Structure 1
Amino acid sequence: MENLNIRTQQNASIPSMPQIPRMLHLKQVVHYTGLSSTTIYDILDKKSKRYDSTFPVQVKLSKGRVAWVESEVADWIESKMAARIC
Structure 2
Amino acid sequence: MGNLNTNNQASTADLSVLRMPRMLPLKEVIYFTGLSSTTIYDMLDKKSNRYDSTFPIQVKLSKGRVAWVESEIADWLKTKLADRFN
TM-score past 0.5 threshold: yes
| TM-score between both structures, scaled by the size of structure 1 | 0.82
Count of residue pairs brought into register by the alignment: 76
Unpaired stretches in structure 2, ≥5 consecutive residues: 1-6
Unpaired stretches in structure 1, ≥5 consecutive residues: 1-9
- The Cα shift of 1:14 comes to 3.0
Between structures 1 and 2, the one with greater helix share: 2
The aligned residue for residue 4 of structure 1 is none
Distance 1:14 1:54 in 2: 36
The aligned residue for residue 11 of structure 2 is 14
Q: Give runs of ≥4 in structure 1 deviating > 6 Å.
A: none
| TM-score between both structures, scaled by the size of structure 2 | 0.82
Work out which of the two has the higher radius of gyration on C-alpha atoms and give 1 or 2.
1
Q: Percent identity?
A: 67
Considering only aligned residues, what root-mean-square deviation do their CA atoms show, in Å? 1.5
